[in-house]
Amino acid sequence: MSVEQAAERAPVVPYVRQAEPSEGGGCAVPSSARPLLKGAADLVSLTKPRITRMVAATMLGGMWVASRYLRAGLGGEAAIERAAVPPAQLALALLGTVLVVSGANALNMYIERDTDLLMERTRSRPLPARRLSPELALWFGIALSAASIPVLFIGVNATTGVLAAVALLSYVLVYTPLKRRTTLSLPIGAIPGAIPPLLGWTSVTGQIDAPGFLLFAVMFLWQIPHFLAISLFRQDEYQRAGLKVLPLEKGDLTTRRHIVGYLALLVVSSVLFVPLGVAGPVYLGAAVLLGGAFFGLGVYGLRAGTGARWARQVFFASMVYLVLLFAALMIGA
C-alpha cells in the first residue's frame, strides 16, 4: 500500500481542535485560557524542542571553539582583533539559529503530516492528531524561517546568513521530500544537520576555514550511525509510512556494516582537531576513548543475531558520545 493510499484510508476528520482530557478542570489556570495554553504548547512542539536544543548546543560549541582559536592567534595576527566579537552579535547568532532550526522543523512537520499519521512515534504530533490546522503550522514555519535569515545575515554576518539559508532550503525542500523516494535522503539531510556548528564558527570568524569545515565533517559523519540505528529499531514504522531507509532496502547486516564504517570515519575525523591546533592532549584522550567505545559498540553489532536492542544502544550512545565529545572540544586542553 502506498503512502498516498494509506493516508487516504486514514480517518478524514475535518480540522477541529481536539480537547485533551486534562481540559476538564482541576487546574489553577482559568478554563477560558486553557485551550490557548495548549495551542501555544502545540506550536512549540512543532519546532521539535529537544532536537532544536541539541542543535543549538552544537552551534554554541562551534562559537566557543572559534573564539578560543582566534584568541590564541591561530587564525593569524589580525585574527586576535577579530576575536573580540560583540556579545550582541553572539546573542543574535543564537537567536537566529534557534529561529531557523525551529522554522525548518515546523515546515518539515507541515510537509510530513500525512506520513506522521502512519507512525507510532509521530502520530500524536499536533498536525496528525488534528490539534492544530495545517495552515497555521505552515505560516508559523514560514514566519520563523523568514525572520531567521535577516537576523543572521544582517545581525551576524553574510556567511552565516547564507549558510543558514542553504541549511533551511536543503532540509525543507530537498531532504524532506526525498525521504519518500531514496535512502540517499540520509546523507543529504546530514548536510543541514551539520551546518549549525559551522554557523557557530562563522558567526565568530566570518569565514569557513579548516577547523570550521572539520566541525561540519564530524557532525555530518555522526548523523549517519545516529539515524541508521534508529532506522533499524523503527524499520516497521518506516515501512508502514512508505519512507525509504537502508534496512528496508539493503537489509540489516548491510546497515550494521554502514554503521561501523561511518563510526571509523567519525573517530578518525574527530582526532584531526589536534593537528589543526584547536585542541590538545586532554581532548585527544577523550576523543580516542569515546570514539573507541562507540566504535566497539558498533563492531559488536556485526555479530549474528544482533537485534533492535543493540540498535537502541547505538542510538543512545550517539547522544552521549556527541555531548561528551563537544564538552571535551570546548575544554580544548
Binding-site ranges for ligand FPP (CB under 6 A) = 51, 55, 100-101, 104-105, 108, 112, 164, 167-168, 171, 175, 189, 192-193, 195-196
Q: Which of ligand FPP, ligand HEM, none does residue 58 bind to, with CB < 5 to 8 Å depending on kind?
A: ligand HEM
CA distance 216 to 226: 15
Least Cβ distance, residue 257 to ligand HEM (angstroms) = 19
CB burial readout 163-188, b (16+ within 10 A) else e: bbbebbebbbeebbebbbeebebbeb
CA distance 176 to 169: 10
Q: Does 228 bind ligand HEM (CB under 6 A)?
A: no
Q: Does 121 bind ligand HEM (CB under 6 A)?
A: yes
- SS3 (DSSP) at 74: coil
Stretch that binds ligand HEM, among 46-54, 199-207, 238-246, 284-292 (CB under 6 A): 46-54
CB 193, CB 168: distance < 8 Å? no
Cβ nearer to ligand HEM, comparing 174 with 293 = 174
Q: Using CB under 6 A, which of 171, 216, 227, 310 touches ligand HEM?
A: 227
Cβ nearer to ligand HEM, comparing 58 with 70 = 58
Touching ligand HEM, residues 177-196 (CB under 6 A): 186, 189-190, 193
Q: Write the DSSP assignment of 132-189 as a string of letters.
A: S-HHHHHHHHHHHHHHHHHHHHHHT-HHHHHHHHHHHHIIIIIIHHHTTT-TTHHHHH
Name the nearest CA neighbour of 203 among 28, 102, 326, 61: 61
Q: Using CB under 6 A, which of 11, 50, 77, 281 touches ligand HEM?
A: 50
Residues forming contacts to ligand HEM in the complex (CB under 6 A) are 50-51, 54-55, 58, 121, 186, 189-190, 193, 223, 226-227, 230, 234
